[in-house]
Amino acid sequence: MLSASDLRKGLKVQIDGNPYIVIDFEFSKPGKGQALYRCKMRNMISGNQLVQTYRSNDKFDKPDLEERKMQYLYNQDDEFHFMDTANFEQIFLTREQLGDNINYLIDNMDVEMLFFESQPIDITMPMFVNLDVTKADPWAKGDTSGNDTKPVTVETGYVLQVPPFVEEGDKIQIDTRTGIYVTRVKE
């Protein structure tokens, strides 16, 4: 059993039989009275968001979640297919279930898939992925706008800002939590 004082960003709780993840969290303590915990949460099955304020004595159940190692195989339309590396069972998730994670998925990538009551609901990506740059416009050297970045497209179709020295054909490392450029990778 979890209490409201355990709430923090990224925590998974069960409310009305559904798993939720805390997206945003604010704590306030009025001069006289109980502490208040204002949370923005996302339903991990439907994707619906909920904003709720809890008092310090409110309790939550821990959701029955299981993680299994899976390997990304391919996508067909809006279905992304994964294989369980232990028993070779194939499972798919939809584009909506994956959210921004589709920006970093490449064939044969190992991920952790999250299950709630034997139903796949989400994946956990590695913190960093290395992707090939497929399109990079040349940087205009005389550009003095103060912003020394340029947009590039990586092999998954994701577009991000990188330093001007990154060129087409380079391999770059991207932080999957924020979607930003980390470094250029030597092969």
Given a cut of 70, whether residue 164 has pLDDT beyond it is yes
Report the C-alpha gap between 4 and 8 in whole angstroms. 9
Tell me the pLDDT tens digit for each residue of 35-67. 888 999 988 887 788 898 988 888 988 888 899
Domain range enclosing 161: 128-185
Residue 140, Cα to own-chain centre: how many angstroms?
Answer: 33
Same domain, 116 and 137: no
Tell me the pLDDT tens digit for each residue of 94-150. 887 788 889 999 999 999 998 988 888 888 889 999 999 999 988 766 655 667 888
Same domain, 134 and 150: yes
The type of residue at 7 is: L
Q: What is the CATH number of the domain that holds 104?
A: 2.40.50.140
**Average of pLDDT values for 75-85?**
91
User: From residue 113, how far is each of 42, 69, 80, 83, 145 by CA, in Å?
Assistant: 17, 6, 12, 10, 43
User: From residue 134, how far is each of 68, 69, 102, 159 by CA, in Å?
Assistant: 32, 29, 17, 10
The total domain count for the chain is: 3
